[in-house]
Amino acid sequence: MAIAIRLPDMGTNVEECKVLAWKVKEGDSVKRGDVLADIETDKAVAELESTAEGVLLQCRVLAGATARTGDILAYVGRAGETIIAEAASARGLEEPRKAGGQVEIPTSTAPSRPPRVSPMVRNLAAKLGVDLQQVKGSGAGGIITREDVQRAHSAPSSVATGAPFSGEQLSRMQAAVARAVQKSWKEIPHLSISASIGMSRALELREKSQAGSSKISYDAIFLKAMARAAAKHPLFLARLEGERIVRPQGVHIALAVGFADELYLPVIRNVDQKDLDTLHLEISDLAEKIKSHTLKVEPLSGATMALSNLGMYPIESFDAIIFPEHSSILTVGSIQSVPAVINGKVEIRPTVMVKLAADHRLINGRAAAEFLTEVKNTIESGNLT
């Protein structure tokens, strides 16, 4: 019997992926673990591996089309084997087929056909009194999503007249960030505290130590300080799932990287085991992969806290939202020359303002204060080697 190759779970907050390109053709022999296609998530590119051995009998999704977790992308079986089609899908959708057996993804819902919609979304539309025939689906292949119905309900005049919605659709990456931010703001109670950190020793370290042709980045310095603090306060290396504390192995910290209008959170792994030079080079490498759109899926998961640095702008301090699956995020503003009293004398010292947001369900105020104090002491002492 032919085996269905489904789109695997690509991680929390990833609802759909795009099939970039098929690496094998229908009729080609494949082994278990062979790469069948390149899959693009909201943030990176991954490889779709075969979970069966035999012949690629059918590709059900065209290159360039999107699919959701659990959707059938292909069938693998014996040469000449007849494919017994499975039920449309758990969402109750019927997928129109093209000659040659591939799925044709329509660009919009034709008015003469029933709207493509899951039972749950159909029930929501009935509850809100939304006419699905007047709603244009924004999901894969014109599928009407929950958000489409909610928008239609909040703007009844546009739906009633059939007028198009104003504005433009978010990009897939921006939409993913929007979903994550909304989820976090709804579910995670944020505890926020701040502190000023003297940067004299950090500036000295940057002058003395260089990685390649550039100075050690401030990101590397703060990542190292966060790892030191987390070693003494291990709750920052955990996350909350319901009422369970989950403690992943290793000190993995995400770094917020903005490129164009997109936001990425690549993860620096085992920060505690790396020196500043290594951290600096790894950060630079991840930034280059983001710019060239070659970042893979693996560096985007596994962290429980994050660092966001806007010190390159004239921003003294700012608040940030904790990413889902994380327990905290540290933000860093720009270095300011401020007066400080040292041994009874006023001196001008380089200082930076940092803010820590923590999941208050897991981390209380005292723990947050002790963590931030450890970060401050580590940087001010220069104990970062």
**Encoding tokens for residue 369?**
């204060």
Res 10: pLDDT: 67
Tokens of 133: 């025939």
301 half-sphere exposure, CB direction, 13 A CA radius = 14
Q: Could you read off the pLDDT of 236-263 as tens digits, one per residue?
A: 999 998 889 999 899 999 999 988 778 8
Q: Which CATH architecture has domain 106-163?
A: Irregular (4.10)
Amino acid at 53: E
**CATH match for 3-77 among 3.40.50.20, 2.60.120.380, 2.60.40.1930, 2.40.50.100:** 2.40.50.100
One-letter amino acid at 42 equals D
- The set of residues, in sequence order, having a beta carbon less than 8 Å from that of 150 and lying 6+ positions away, is 124, 128
pLDDT of residue 11: 59
The Cα 115–Cα 92 span in angstroms is 12
- Taking Cα atoms as reference points, which of 245, 243, 265 lies closest to residue 253? 265
Residues of the chain with pLDDT under 70: 10-15, 42-43, 85-114, 119, 140-141, 155-167, 172, 210-213, 297-299
328-332 and 345-359 as β-strands: parallel, antiparallel, unpaired? antiparallel
Q: What is the pLDDT of residue 332?
A: 97
Predicted pLDDT at 230:
96
Calculate helix-pair angle for 218-232, 276-291, nearest 10 degrees. 120
Q: What is the pLDDT of residue 334?
A: 96
Task: List CB contacts of 243: < 8 A, sequence separation 6 or more.
Answer: none
Nearest Cα residue to 208 out of 198, 197, 221, 196: 221
Q: Please give the CATH number for the structural domain made up of 174-381.
A: 3.30.559.10
Residue with tokens 């020793």: 201
Question: Is the overall model pTM greater than 0.85, yes or no?
Answer: no
Question: H or E segment at 282?
Answer: helix 276-291
**Any idea what DSSP says for residue 82?**
P
| pLDDT tens readout for residues 157-176 | 544 444 555 567 777 677 77
Say how far apart CA 234 and CA 212 lie, in whole Å: 33
d(CA 41, CA 17): 5
Neighbours of 252 (CB within 10 A): 20
Q: Which of 345, 311, 351, 305 has the alpha carbon at shortest distance from 328?
A: 305
Q: What is the pLDDT of residue 302?
A: 86
Domain spans of the chain? 3-77, 106-163, 174-381
> CA angle, 47 as apex, 41 and 52 as ends, to 5°?
125
pLDDT for 114: 66
User: What is the pLDDT at residue 284?
Assistant: 92
pLDDT of residue 119: 67
Which pair of tokens denotes residue 285? 């490498």
Domains 3-77 and 174-381 share a fold: no
Q: What is the 3-state secondary structure (H, E, C) of 209-245?
A: CEECCEECCHHHHHHHHHHHHHHHCHHHHCEEECCEE
Distance CA 272, CA 227 (A): 5
